[in-house]
């Protein structure tokens, strides 16, 4: 049986006195959504999330990571993959730190790598409507980017569907904002840069009557973490993400 150490990867680490701008650079260029913060003797202290990095817009800021550290999901090298999934679900994170008996960081398990393994092992029952989040916050392609930036930072949501004439035409995520370097200037100056310049298209969707198993396969096949849910008229009725699928597995 595979355990946490079988999926362990090296995740970049920070210390309390590192600048948030350092975290921004790593998160922008790599696949990680979170970075671990370590203390003395490499003990795991917590993690820094993309949303936290987005709070600091100045590229030359001297703000350190200390005030943004969150409690990390922790597992041991021998933790079963199912229990790693539960740790990630309970902490609502996108990774779990692997630590030894002294709390020293060994590496981490990425939810994006764990998710395909967990869904392949189980017959996931139920339909999307049983697991989706309803009445999601949306935006329009012509919305100013500084409004969406503020929404993502304040809400903690990972992405917003982009809706035009009641039809979902794209997705705008935290990573879209992080990778668009000029966005910080637009936000800071409240310029007129709009969502359609940054959003990801085309968008992959599911319907409420599609199975959760189908939704999870789409997430795996396209390496995406969230899917808009639309009705027969293509109107948005909800969203479903990896954590929603994992919750269904846990039940």
CATH of the domain at 18: 3.10.580.10
Residues 132 and 112 in one domain: no
Residues 46 and 68 in one domain: yes
Say if residues 23 and 122 touch (Cβ distance below 8 Å): no
Paired sense of beta strands 226-230 and 236-241, if any: antiparallel
User: Number of structural domains, the chain?
Assistant: 2
User: What pLDDT score was predicted for residue 60?
Assistant: 65
> Could you tell me how many helices (H) and strands (E) the chain has, helices first?
10, 11
Say if residues 231 and 134 touch (Cβ distance below 8 Å): no
Spatial separation of the C-alpha atoms in residues 222 and 218, rounded to whole Å:
6
Helix (H, G, I), strand (E, B) or coil at 136: coil
Q: What is the pTM of this model?
A: 0.86
User: What pLDDT score was predicted for residue 191?
Assistant: 60
Residues 142 and 108 in one domain: no
Distances (CA, A) of 163 to 7, 118, 237: 37, 32, 11
Spatial separation of the C-alpha atoms in residues 241 and 94, rounded to whole Å:
12
Residues 234 and 142 in one domain: yes
Boundary (domain end) residue, out of 121, 138, 166: 121
User: What pLDDT score was predicted for residue 6?
Assistant: 97
65 CB-near residues (< 8 Å, 6+ apart): 14, 15, 16, 18, 19, 20, 23, 37, 48, 52
Boundary (domain end) residue, out of 101, 121, 141: 121
User: What pLDDT score was predicted for residue 194?
Assistant: 85
User: What pLDDT score was predicted for residue 175?
Assistant: 76
Spatial separation of the C-alpha atoms in residues 176 and 200, rounded to whole Å:
8
Paired sense of beta strands 44-49 and 74-75, if any: unpaired
Per-residue confidence in pLDDT tens, the chain, 251 aa: 899 999 999 999 999 999 888 888 887 766 788 999 999 999 999 999 887 777 776 666 788 999 899 999 999 999 999 999 999 999 999 999 999 999 999 999 999 999 999 999 888 889 999 999 988 888 899 988 877 777 777 776 778 899 998 899 999 887 777 666 555 555 555 567 788 888 888 899 999 999 999 999 999 999 889 999 999 888 899 999 999 999 998 87
Spatial separation of the C-alpha atoms in residues 171 and 65, rounded to whole Å:
28
Residues 37 and 140 in one domain: no
Say if residues 206 and 218 touch (Cβ distance below 8 Å): yes
Give the count of beta carbons closer than 10 Å to the beta carbon of residue 51: 20
User: What pLDDT score was predicted for residue 153?
Assistant: 72
Domain range enclosing 33: 4-121
Residues 11 and 114 in one domain: yes
Report angle CA 70, 75, 81 to the nearest 5 degrees.
120
Boundary (domain end) residue, out of 69, 102, 121: 121
Residues 109 and 171 in one domain: no
């Amino acid at each position: 049986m595979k355990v946490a150490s079988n999926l362990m990867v090296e995740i970049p680490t920070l210390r309390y006195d590192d600048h948030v701008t350092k975290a921004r650079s790593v998160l922008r260029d790599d696949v990680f959504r979170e970075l671990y913060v370590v203390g003395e003797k490499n003990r795991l202290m917590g993690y820094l999330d993309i949303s936290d990095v987005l709070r600091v817009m100045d590229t030359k800021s001297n703000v350190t990571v200390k005030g943004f550290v969150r409690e990390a999901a922790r597992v041991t090298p021998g933790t079963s993959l199912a229990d790693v999934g539960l740790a990630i679900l309970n902490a609502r994170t996108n990774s779990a730190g692997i630590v030894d008996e002294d709390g020293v960081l060994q590496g981490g398990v990425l939810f994006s790598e764990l998710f395909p393994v967990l869904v392949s092992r189980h017959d996931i029952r139920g339909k999307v409507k049983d697991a989706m989040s309803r009445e999601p916050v949306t935006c329009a392609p012509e919305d100013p980017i500084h409004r969406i930036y503020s929404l993502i930072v304040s809400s903690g949501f990972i992405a917003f569907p982009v809706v035009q004439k009641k039809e979902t035409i794209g997705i705008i995520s935290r990573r879209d904002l992080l990778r668009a370097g000029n966005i910080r200037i637009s936000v800071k100056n409240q310029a007129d840069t709009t969502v359609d310049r940054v959003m990801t298209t085309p968008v992959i969707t599911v319907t409420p009557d599609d199975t959760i198993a189908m939704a999870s396969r789409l997430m795996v096949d396209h390496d995406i973490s969230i899917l808009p849910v639309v009705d027969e008229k293509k109107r948005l009725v909800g969203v479903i993400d990896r954590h929603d699928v994992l919750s269904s597995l846990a039940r």
